[in-house]
Amino acid sequence: MPYSNENDLYLEVGFIELNRLSGSPDDQVLDIARVDHAVAMADAVIDGFLFGRYDVPFTGTIEPLIKKLSIDLAAANLFEYQYSKTGMPNTVVWRRINALRLLKDIQEGKVVLKGHSPGTNSPPPIISNKTSSDKYFSDDLMNRFSDKP
């Protein structure tokens, strides 16, 4: 089940713009296959980031944050296709960057999805008792024994 669909994208970018981004020469016809592909690629990125943290793909009611990420990434995919020979608008580039940053934060556990518990294959927390004061030799002393002249 996709995390977003063409109706979500219509609400985000508008009817004519979505038709144009999907490749319609006259802005009147939506190429649903291209939109579905853009959504599938966006959802694959989401699943790739969150695999190990959550059981993906998500099923049932889609978390609004995941839906937003899917919409942002799918729209960026469509803009990237349309603007392949020129530069994409800065707002689209920044939306993609922010979506990827947010996915990284979710992956690292800095942002938690409500209603979803961590997956069974989530990585164990890293616990360390080492600090910078645990060094026995200073960097200066270690550099004296370096192979480099």
Task: Check residue 24 and give its pLDDT.
Answer: 74
Task: Check residue 126 and give its pLDDT.
Answer: 63
In terms of Cβ atoms closer than 10 Å to its own Cβ (0-12, 13-18, 19+), residue 42 is buried
Task: Check residue 86 and give its pLDDT.
Answer: 84
Task: Check residue 127 and give its pLDDT.
Answer: 65
- Three-point CA angle 116, 118, 120, nearest 5°: 125
Could you tell me which residues come within 8 angstroms of residue 83 by beta carbon, excluding any fewer than 6 positions away?
89
Q: Could you read off the pLDDT of 43-97 as tens digits, one per residue?
A: 999 999 998 888 889 888 889 999 999 999 999 999 998 887 788 889 999 999 9
Instruction: With a cut of 70, say whether residue 133 has pLDDT above it.
Output: no
Could you tell me which residues come within 8 angstroms of residue 66 by beta carbon, excluding any fewer than 6 positions away?
3, 46, 58, 113
Nearest alpha-carbon partner for 116 in 69, 56, 67? 56
Task: Check residue 61 and give its pLDDT.
Answer: 87
